[in-house]
Amino acid sequence: MAPVARPDTKTLFHIDLTWFEKNGRDLREAMHEVLCDECRARYPSPSDAHPVDRIHPQTAEVTRVDALWESIVDHCAQKPGFITPATPLTAAIFRALLANGNQPMSSEQLHKRVGKSSAAAILKLLLGSEIENGVVPLDSK
């Protein structure tokens, strides 16, 4: 059996989408809560957002994506108030991963994106006894 590597500031984290269902929470509701006012007006409830076609800017590949996620990535996350110094750290981490399309990020990358705390402190938070918003190490399954 290979030794298990101890997580460090380069360990990648992502949102485990199944965590929400296992914990009686709704990911789409959580995504709806982070929408900016403009997008929330377009989608008054999570059920108002249906899958949409997304065209990759470099490859022109078309994929179906959740309209809420597309709004977060392409619009809300581009606004200056998406993550602020007043945003609680766990919420800022969740927002950063949403804005990154749930592409895995290390605590170093998260630190740069959220602009608060330190990579080591973010790692300590992410490895704490309580999982927040389904954020787990990439290979935790």
Q: Please, are residues 105 and 11 in contact by the beta-carbon 8 Å criterion?
A: no
For residues 89 and 16, give the distance between their C-alpha atoms in angstroms, rounded to a whole number: 18
* Residue 2 belongs to some domain of the structure: no
For residues 127 and 2, give the distance between their C-alpha atoms in angstroms, rounded to a whole number: 21
Q: Has residue 92 got a pLDDT over 60?
A: yes
pLDDT for 69-89, tens place per residue?
A: 999 999 999 999 999 999 999
Coil, helix or strand for 62? strand
* Residue 51 belongs to some domain of the structure: yes
Question: How many structural domains does the chain have?
Answer: 1
* Residue 1 belongs to some domain of the structure: no
pLDDT for 2-16, tens place per residue?
A: 555 688 899 999 999
Phi-psi region of 130 (alpha: psi -120 to 50; beta: other; left: phi over 0): beta
pTM of the shown model: 0.89
